[in-house]
Amino acid sequence: MSRATVSRVVNGVRNVAPGIQQAVRDAVARTGYTPNQAARSLVTRRTGTVALVLSATGRAFAARVFSDPFFGRVVDGVLPVLRERTIQPVMLVAESEEARAQLVEYLRQGGADGALVVPLDADDPLPAMLVAADVPTVLFGRPHDSTRCGFVDLDNTAGARLAAEHLWATGRRRPATIAAPVSAPTAPERLDGFREAFAARGVTSVPVVRGRFSVDSGRRAMARLLKEHPGIDGVFAANDLMAQGACQYLREEGIAVPGSVAVVGFDDSVAARRAQPQLTTVRQPVERMAAAMARLLVEELTGGRPESDRQPHEPASKLFEPVLVVREST
Amino acid sequence: MSRATVSRVVNGVRNVAPGIQQAVRDAVARTGYTPNQAARSLVTRRTGTVALVLSATGRAFAARVFSDPFFGRVVDGVLPVLRERTIQPVMLVAESEEARAQLVEYLRQGGADGALVVPLDADDPLPAMLVAADVPTVLFGRPHDSTRCGFVDLDNTAGARLAAEHLWATGRRRPATIAAPVSAPTAPERLDGFREAFAARGVTSVPVVRGRFSVDSGRRAMARLLKEHPGIDGVFAANDLMAQGACQYLREEGIAVPGSVAVVGFDDSVAARRAQPQLTTVRQPVERMAAAMARLLVEELTGGRPESDRQPHEPASKLFEPVLVVREST
DNA sequence: GAAACGTGGGAGAGCGCTCTCCCGAACCTT
DNA sequence: AAGGTTCGGGAGAGCGCTCTCCCACGTTTC
């Protein structure tokens, strides 16, 4: 029997007589034969693999990533989409500049067919590097520079506006906000959206303290806010973890939530439900966004580009709308 | 110029005249040439890649993994070791039975040179599957069955004993423990170690409630413990997150920590320092253990086995001793 | 000055697959 | 019954590297 026939059976291409098919399968099972991935991708120019890249500069890498439920949600969203298509998901991390270079090299050498990138900093150079290296790439969050690649994004401005309008509607007139770190991609939108919505209603001064997305930083931010602006009656935090921290601090200080101060979070992560009180928050459908991101990439990969008309790129993207979820903290 | 010369320059093997070397480098830079990884591994039978595998059965996969600082510490420990040797780390997850099968297939086809496995359940079949598939494997935690492969482990019994002895030494005579989920690999050792140490001192009845490694489950466990055994004066939790939850609950109920009830955690993760009060805890050097795990695998991979004397396996392993860290909660 | 040696570079054989031909046999069609 | 049309299977050419020969040239040695 020829290699060709075996190949046909294994890959399920063309017709092979059932008898022969069975014979091949038996032989495969008997000998424990495994096709060599390297040889296969050498000719197919495919690895059947997609990289999920987590990019964060600076230290305390793991602490940043593995304490926030956010990335877990991304993983949860991406996995089913890839599994369903029998694409092997591999997670890559770029925790330093060297790591980033190594990673780009790995991908351009064909380590994976494409990359799903979750940048944790707005000025992350990785997306641009990948696009320059001709790696099919889809981002979580709009690319900040002119990098032309696919992405999914949330209308963060609208989300922040939702929070502001809700606080306004429930009678809060002395708002403050615990903003994201300046480096965060979503920081400006969530901050400005909140401020502008209040400005439009005549409230021009909104105290801002930056947090670092953690529960702890939320506590500290709340403490500072309260010290510098004792009259505050409504707080919008740029994620649920910080909102949770704010609530903890307020209650410890004997300040009623939502009685005296209302708190709105962002994301609607598990933390929002787990917090005491349960958080009113702006829902970001992370899992759905991540799934969409994976689908976008898969389409680009299988997009049947007939070799010739490979446009420089035609970045597809998808936008999501936030929704306000009202619970106990407002 | 021949391909061979280029290959020699790129891989830095043998002597190549400096002039020629420069010429090659220039050409590479100019044309943006990138060697094809697939072709290379086809002949070298190496990918230059090591997989860090996270295996967890059951649902809420991401929630389990990305909310506990534990896995982040493993990553932090593994990365430097691999980076230093320019081995590309790829993280793989086995979140379902299918995923597990797919993953094993991927690795035996040569998707990576070896696997570092962190099983979250004691009865995880993955390690055995990998060993059966001839994938060089090193585990975090002693293999539960007769799987012959390398591993690193902590003396969990000794750790639990440390906690017990400390509680005893500080005058606690009515201990209780918030144990790990039955499925956790470390559950029996940490539980039995604690009980036996007290039994040796004449305290035979130690109430046990199972938690799920989360802050929340720690709170609930503490609540139940207190309700069913109001006299408790010392609690040992199987990880810091649960200890933190226990402290939170106790303080909310107006019970002084460590005044009325002392609390000891396990791991010495960031959560221990962040908790209020700061946790007395049994230190598990996760980063060092993870680094050792990576080194063990690298040695097995580069271990110069001269092809012929490939023993069935000679599993190397390394054991670590826990240390008690006394802070404010006792 | 000839033989021995070392050193840099080319030729070419694979690595293990996939995939395009191509050919023989069986099945229709008129 | 002769031609055309499937259909199943084999042969063999690569995919892009690495690595072992092997050869040509310069350098040393007696």
pLDDT digits 0-9 by tens, B27-77: 777 777 888 999 999 999 999 999 999 998 766 677 677 888 899 999 999
Among B201, B185, B324, CA closest to B264: B324
pLDDT digits 0-9 by tens, B205-264: 999 999 999 998 999 999 999 999 999 999 999 999 999 999 999 998 999 999 999 999
The rounded distance, in Å, linking the Cα atoms of A64 and A59 is 9
pLDDT of residue B283: 98
- The DSSP letter of residue A180 is P
* Strand C near-CB residues (< 7 Å), B 214-273: none
- The structure tokens listed for B216 are 């929340």
Radius of gyration of chain A (CA): 24
Which of helix, strand or coil describes residue A102? helix
Question: Burial letters for A141-157: b for 16+ Cβ neighbours within 10 Å, e otherwise?
Answer: bbbeeebebbbbbbbbb
Among B113, B117, B171, CA closest to B149: B117
Question: Burial letters for A165-190: b for 16+ Cβ neighbours within 10 Å, e otherwise?
Answer: bbbbeeebebbbbbbbeebbbbbebb
- The structure tokens listed for A279 are 């958080």
pTM of the model: 0.91
The rounded distance, in Å, linking the Cα atoms of A136 and B161 is 53
CB A117 within 8 A of CB A53: yes
Q: Which residues contact A288 (CB under 8 A, 6 or more apart)?
A: A77, A320
Q: How far is CA A86 from the centre of its chain?
A: 22
The rounded distance, in Å, linking the Cα atoms of A104 and A84 is 26
> What would the 3-class secondary structure string for B263-282 be?
EEEEECCHHHHHCCCCCEEE
The rounded distance, in Å, linking the Cα atoms of B183 and B210 is 11
Beta bridge partners of B177: B208, B236
CA angle centred on A49, ends A48 and A50, rounded to 5°: 135
The rounded distance, in Å, linking the Cα atoms of A97 and A99 is 5
Among A62, A54, A67, CA closest to B75: A62
Residue type, B193: G
pLDDT digits 0-9 by tens, B94-114: 999 999 999 999 999 999 999
The rounded distance, in Å, linking the Cα atoms of A13 and A7 is 8
pLDDT of residue B15: 64
pLDDT of residue B8: 76
The rounded distance, in Å, linking the Cα atoms of B330 and B319 is 28
Q: Which residues contact A143 (CB under 8 A, 6 or more apart)?
A: A127, A128, A149, A151
| Distances from the Cα of A325 to the Cα of A72, A89, A279, A319, A330, angstroms | 21, 32, 8, 19, 10
pLDDT of residue A252: 86
DSSP sequence for A195-211: HHHHHTTT-----EEE-
Among B190, B196, B180, B179, CA closest to B157: B190
Beta bridge partners of A324: A282
Indicate yes or no: CB of B65 within 8 angstroms of CB of A76. Answer: no
* Strand C near-CB residues (< 7 Å), B 10-29: 14-17, 19-20
Print pLDDT tens along chain A (330 aa).
Answer: 667 777 777 776 666 677 777 777 777 777 778 889 999 999 999 999 999 999 987 666 776 778 888 999 999 999 999 999 999 999 999 999 999 999 999 999 999 999 999 999 999 999 999 999 999 999 999 998 888 999 999 999 999 999 999 999 999 999 999 999 999 999 999 999 999 999 999 999 999 999 999 998 999 999 999 999 999 999 999 999 999 999 999 998 999 999 999 999 999 998 899 888 999 999 999 999 999 999 999 999 987 544 344 455 567 999 999 999 999 999
Helical pair B69-84 and B286-302, crossing angle rounded to 10 deg: 40
Decide if pLDDT at B312 tops 60. Answer: no
pLDDT of residue B310: 47
| Chain D nucleotides near the protein (CB, 7 A) | 7-20
CA of B11 to C1' of D24 (A): 24
B200 Cβ contacts chain C strand, under 7 Å: no
Indicate yes or no: CB of B92 within 8 angstroms of CB of A92. Answer: no
pLDDT of residue B29: 74
pLDDT digits 0-9 by tens, B259-297: 999 999 999 998 899 888 999 999 999 999 999 999 999
Q: Which residue of A has its CA nearest to B74?
A: A62
Indicate yes or no: CB of B38 within 8 angstroms of CB of A42. Answer: yes
pLDDT of residue A70: 92
The rounded distance, in Å, linking the Cα atoms of A17 and A12 is 12
The rounded distance, in Å, linking the Cα atoms of A263 and A251 is 12
CB A118 within 8 A of CB A54: yes
pLDDT of residue B307: 39
A44 Cβ contacts chain C strand, under 7 Å: yes
**Residue of B40, B49, B64, B75 best to disrupt the A interface, most CBs of A under 10 A:** B75
| Nucleotide D16: closest residue by CA–C1' | B39
pLDDT digits 0-9 by tens, B136-157: 999 999 998 888 999 999 999 9
pLDDT of residue A257: 92
pLDDT of residue B306: 43
Tally Cβ neighbours within 10 Å of residue A302. Answer: 12
CA of A16 to C1' of C29 (A): 26
Instruction: Give the residue, B159 or B313, on which the prediction is more confident.
Output: B159
Reported as half-sphere exposure (CB side, CA atoms, 13 A), residue A80 has a value of: 13
- The structure tokens listed for B35 are 């060697």
CB B152 within 8 A of CB B318: yes
- The DSSP letter of residue B180 is P
By DSSP bridging, strand B323-325 and strand B280-283 are antiparallel
